[in-house]
Amino acid sequence: MHTRPRAATAALLTCLLLTACGGGGGDGGNTASAATTTTAGATGTTTTTGTATGSTSSASGTAANTGTTATTATTTTTTSVDATKLPLGDNKFTTTAPAVGYVYACYSAGQGGATTKGPWFNGDGSTWNSTSKISVQGVVNWVSTFAVALGSTLGITGNGLPSQPTGTFPIASTDPAYAYDRNPNSIKTSAIAWGLPANPTVAATPSCTGLGAIGVLLDGARLFNADDGGYRDAVAWEVQDACQGHPQQQGTYHYHSVSSCLTQKDTAGQHSPLVGYIADGFGLYGNLGENGKALTNADLDVCHGHTHAITVNGVSVVQYHYHQTKEFPYTVGCFRGTPATIS
């Protein structure tokens, strides 16, 4: 947040020299570091997903880099949720008991990274337009490692980098996104070596989520909850790249919603495929429930999931699982099972 005391000229100057201040970029009260312009180590590699065609292009501030296949999944589903008027999730956080449409948080509010409301916030003050939000520019390819092995635990390993391209971080001062979010962080490898419950069960009481990883998407990058660190709607406030990810202060690339660039796509009339694993071992699926019904918060429980027959590891079982929605909190609101300690 950039309130500007009248006598703070020196502090303001420092902020400008550092290209960011206050926590740009992030989650959990980022301490901004001096931004550099180097992207060494990030370029010249290739991905295996095939979504990064034309990989050196730098498009205008709209979501032009989303990839040729990325937008189809969201347009083939129908829902009562109006993507141009999504309810803003600011302050929809609880520390006492979980609730539908809320994030159950284990922490108190800090400071979010975005500095300014973009024009995609509607004038009513309570909704935002997800179809007009800009993205961080650039297409940077990474070598991602990611593996899932089912044994005594559900083993998840990887280097934390996505198998799909990211935008250019730190956000360049020439990027239109810079006017709203001055994320000064560079994307770095961030090893994943997790042992999640192999046979997850619903716990007696749900658990709250922390800032930081709550799970991982199948492209190998972490999923965080919907908080920008300041009890604000991260998906609305933070300007992420065309695949909806960005790095936090340690360089860990992450999402606050399900990336539209995943290769796991919905099929009309069918339940969505698995798109990730949550810390309690339950799966995260796309937006479509049984018979292809587009799900909203009203269809899901306080943790953003439900129970019915799904195929898990090739076997049909009646099991709890989470779903993506287009509305806040987008993915997990709390842990329905017992979460493993992950980072």
Contact set with Zn ion (CB under 5 A): 27, 289
The answer for residues whose C-beta is within 8 angstroms of residue 71's C-beta and 6 or more apart is 260
Q: Which of 325, 309, 335, 319 is nearest to 266 (CA)?
A: 325
When the beta carbons of 15 and 223 are compared against Zn ion, the nearer one is: 223
Smallest gap from Cβ 10 to Zn ion, in A, equals: 29
When the beta carbons of 46 and 343 are compared against Zn ion, the nearer one is: 343
Smallest gap from Cβ 167 to Zn ion, in A, equals: 13
Q: Which of 241, 119, 115 is nearest to 182 (CA)?
A: 115
Smallest gap from Cβ 247 to Zn ion, in A, equals: 8
- Tokens in use for 93? 């956080």
Which residue type occupies 247?
P
When the beta carbons of 40 and 318 are compared against Zn ion, the nearer one is: 318
When the beta carbons of 53 and 313 are compared against Zn ion, the nearer one is: 313
Which residue type occupies 287?
N
Smallest gap from Cβ 300 to Zn ion, in A, equals: 9
Q: Which of 41, 34, 309, 332 is nearest to 188 (CA)?
A: 41
Tell me the residue nearest to Zn ion as measured from the CB: 27
Smallest gap from Cβ 131 to Zn ion, in A, equals: 21
When the beta carbons of 7 and 298 are compared against Zn ion, the nearer one is: 298
Identify whether the C-beta of residue 189 lies closer than 8 Å to the C-beta of residue 75: no
Peptide bond into 98 cis (omega under 30): no
